[in-house]
Chains A and B, each alone.
Chain A
């Protein structure tokens, strides 16, 4: 089985949707034993739809394509469509199973293959008129989506070019040198934002837990490296945050802690906590250490757990509170944050968790949250009421995010904060 090779979404005149239609046309005469499987990869959560994930998923079908009458089409919306004839279902199942396990952390693959709840694949028996008609409808649908996506891409590209936003050259050690130097001397105090974490008390009350001070990274990038994507290397970005830390300590250190109403929080690397700069900051804070929460990233902790415990003990014994940032509902499945003995634990919400999480997993998460101390858990990036409901269901009462900002505004207006 041959089909023209096309790199999807890379400017080919004829999209894979068109090729699929053409293919359907070619095989229209002999539909006996022919069937199609539509894999709805576009419905996976965003973090699972990165190009290298999708490339690897598509490669899983290579053997099938070379040994059978089977052809894989990669749709513009990232779905895959497999068309084949007389291929033993068991062999297809085997490959589908592999692909499912690749995405096993995704809510999309939670349901059993072929079960009523299964939204991962749709099968079409093309020998049946009804299925054939439905399949054609599905392709038409994919074509519409493809057009839409292409328009969208075009617009996004222009927007990026105009704003010189996140895209750009990758961050390398070479350009890091210059960026780091600029970062040390450029004014950044005007890029510092605040966001409150709030304890929500029914029916319509709230109290502010702390206000997080942070630098908007998108704005920072525009200022210090408009042509470089600071997020292209996880590790080099982390390195830059060490410099940001030191600038932040100076900026936040200018606050009058004796008159600050509530606690503030700021993100720091463990190496920063153990640095001279933090000692200077500590000097400024004086006796008001209980008004400062230090947020530490989970991956920083896993880089050296002993060092974390050492820093945590110093901070806590001085009266600071320690918060662990960067957990997700996913990471809760792999370890119990309670063991890290922090005062707070921040879990990052994502809309992909809104779907149906199997009850067993939900129960486990509930247990983990109880063990961490539900009064210690803050759900962050809360952008909708769904997120708050999800949190409340798990016993979480503390929230942070755009949606919470709006709530806080309303509460402030009503004078109930």
Chain B
């Protein structure tokens, strides 16, 4: 399907044509996207756009109205006084918005001016980014939308969605099932300069995909958020049962595992807690999901105080580039945090990177884990923002590699020693 030229593409095209005659031109970007939603209604945008109309009609400049709602106006330097008047008018229109009220002390600006000749590259990059962002949005759109086509596709790829009837069957089956062979372990590691892993603690979890294959092949357990969330409470109880019988799984070092807040307040957990020694509590980290925390903040706060007082540590699991922007983690009072790796973290630019740096600075050393690390890029990114702890497939590979290296080293030492021994043994014969 042929794509209609959007304003972003037109702007890019216009800039390229301008390259040979960029002298004597300026540009201004009005960041309407930064305004609060109540200031971004259609009539507001229309009002802002129409303020530029006289200038456009006089051929003093070109206006581009972008998908993000931002406006970009490129004009001849001679029109600067008139443009300034227009911008002033628009400012006045939105003077009650926090963006404008706080503009003085912030890097978030409502209006950004450019000199086309001097800042041509900068403008070009900005526009290229906008075009890319738009393409990405389109592809994301097809991912989210659950129309019939999307549902069929999901069914083919992920299996039948979970229904209450299937969930009832699965939960029944789990009451008596031994899940210890489905328990997986992943290490959370730091790395030294030579990229050698140093384990910090390990996470125990029940592999959902393996569980699915064993209990309900062909059903997608995660297809319905709420049913899955309920299902995890059943898994919690199985996990606690397994952890009580440590002979089933050999555990060394500090361990972490996922639980629901509800589970922490249940009789099952109190019994579990009664049966473990105080010193073991100190080696256990309970991971909580943020959906669970925000479902009942009061219960979370209560559970957190209770757990931390007992000596357990609490880890907030599942932060991503979007939730990092929202949650005030300091106030949540958790000991550890896990950020899910995604290339988006890199793409979000310096603002996001500073946010993570700030978070790590506040949280202290070895408090933030980058998880689902599946390639080297993730670790490189993590290092660039000060993350010291990592978890994921790539980390497991590095551990395996390191173990092989150590084994080889041992074998080498043994060979050396045995050949030394042979030499020594030979000596008296001489």
A102 interface neighbour in B145, B266, B296, B306, Cβ under 8 Å: B306
A192 within 8 A of partner (CB): no
B352 within 8 A of partner (CB): no
CB contacts under 8 Å to A, within B292-309, are 293-298, 301-302, 305-306, 309
Binary flags per residue of A270-307, CB closer than 8 Å to B gives 1, else 0: 01001110010000000000000000001100111111
B326 interface neighbour in A307, A330, A335, Cβ under 8 Å: A335
A311 / chain B contacts, CB cutoff of 8 Å: 144
Residue of A nearest to B323 (CB): A305
Residue of B nearest to A179 (CB): B164
Q: A333-B331, A335-B327, A336-B326 are in contact. Are A303 and B297 (CB under 8 A)?
A: no
| Consensus secondary structure, chain B interface | helix
Residue of A nearest to B262 (CB): A234
Q: Roughly how many angstroms separate A339 CA and B326 CA in the complex, as a whole number?
A: 6
A325 within 8 A of partner (CB): no
B164 / chain A contacts, CB cutoff of 8 Å: 173-174, 176-177, 180, 236, 239
Residue of A nearest to B147 (CB): A276
Pair A338/B297 contact, Cβ less than 8 Å: no
B309 interface neighbour in A98, A276, A302, A330, Cβ under 8 Å: A98
Pair A305/B98 contact, Cβ less than 8 Å: no
A47 within 8 A of partner (CB): yes
Binary flags per residue of B144-182, CB closer than 8 Å to A gives 1, else 0: 111110000000000000011101100100000000000
B328 interface neighbour in A52, A328, A335, Cβ under 8 Å: A335
Residue of B nearest to A342 (CB): B37
A194 within 8 A of partner (CB): no
B227 within 8 A of partner (CB): yes
Pair A328/B42 contact, Cβ less than 8 Å: no
Binary flags per residue of A307-323, CB closer than 8 Å to B gives 1, else 0: 10111000010010010
Interface size on B, residues (CB 8 A): 51
Q: Roughly how many angstroms separate A53 CA and B301 CA in the complex, as a whole number?
A: 11
B294 interface neighbour in A47, A298, A310, Cβ under 8 Å: A298
A238 interface neighbour in B167, B226, B290, B302, Cβ under 8 Å: B226
Pair A334/B327 contact, Cβ less than 8 Å: yes
B325 / chain A contacts, CB cutoff of 8 Å: 339
B167 interface neighbour in A53, A173, A316, Cβ under 8 Å: A173
Q: A52-B266, A56-B306, A376-B38 are in contact. Are A334 and B144 (CB under 8 A)?
A: no
B225 interface neighbour in A98, A304, A339, A371, Cβ under 8 Å: A304
B140, B266, B306, B328: residue with the most chain A Cβ atoms closer than 10 Å: B306
Pair A235/B322 contact, Cβ less than 8 Å: no
B293 / chain A contacts, CB cutoff of 8 Å: 302
Q: Roughly how many angstroms separate A172 CA and B231 CA in the complex, as a whole number?
A: 11
Pair B298/A310 contact, Cβ less than 8 Å: no
Pair A275/B302 contact, Cβ less than 8 Å: no
B36 within 8 A of partner (CB): yes
A319 interface neighbour in B42, B167, B298, Cβ under 8 Å: B42
A17 within 8 A of partner (CB): no
B79 within 8 A of partner (CB): no
B173 to chain A, nearest CB (A): 12
A104 / chain B contacts, CB cutoff of 8 Å: 301, 305
A113 within 8 A of partner (CB): no
B332 interface neighbour in A274, A334, A343, A376, Cβ under 8 Å: A334
Pair B265/A239 contact, Cβ less than 8 Å: no
Pair A233/B297 contact, Cβ less than 8 Å: no
Residue of A nearest to B324 (CB): A305
B144 / chain A contacts, CB cutoff of 8 Å: 274, 307, 310-311
B9 / chain A contacts, CB cutoff of 8 Å: none
Q: A56-B306, A104-B305, A271-B225 are in contact. Are A310 and B141 (CB under 8 A)?
A: yes
A24 within 8 A of partner (CB): no
Residue of B nearest to A45 (CB): B298
Pair B168/A177 contact, Cβ less than 8 Å: yes
B148 / chain A contacts, CB cutoff of 8 Å: 276
Residue of B nearest to A311 (CB): B144
List 26 interface pairs A-B (beta carbons < 8 Å), by A numbering.
A48-B298, A56-B302, A98-B305, A101-B309, A105-B297, A105-B298, A105-B301, A173-B167, A173-B227, A176-B168, A177-B165, A234-B295, A238-B226, A239-B164, A239-B226, A239-B230, A302-B291, A302-B323, A303-B225, A305-B322, A306-B320, A310-B144, A336-B326, A339-B326, A340-B326, A375-B38
Given contacts A173-B171, A341-B36, A376-B37, 9 further A-B contacts (CB under 8 A): A102-B302, A104-B305, A173-B227, A242-B224, A276-B146, A276-B147, A307-B144, A334-B297, A338-B36
The 4 residue pairs across chains A and B that have the minimum distance between CB atoms = A173-B168, A235-B230, A176-B164, A173-B167
Binding site for A on B (CB under 8 A): 36-38, 42, 98, 140-141, 144-148, 163-165, 167-168, 171, 224-227, 229-230, 233, 262, 265-266, 270, 290-291, 293-298, 301-302, 305-306, 309, 320, 322-323, 325-328, 331-332
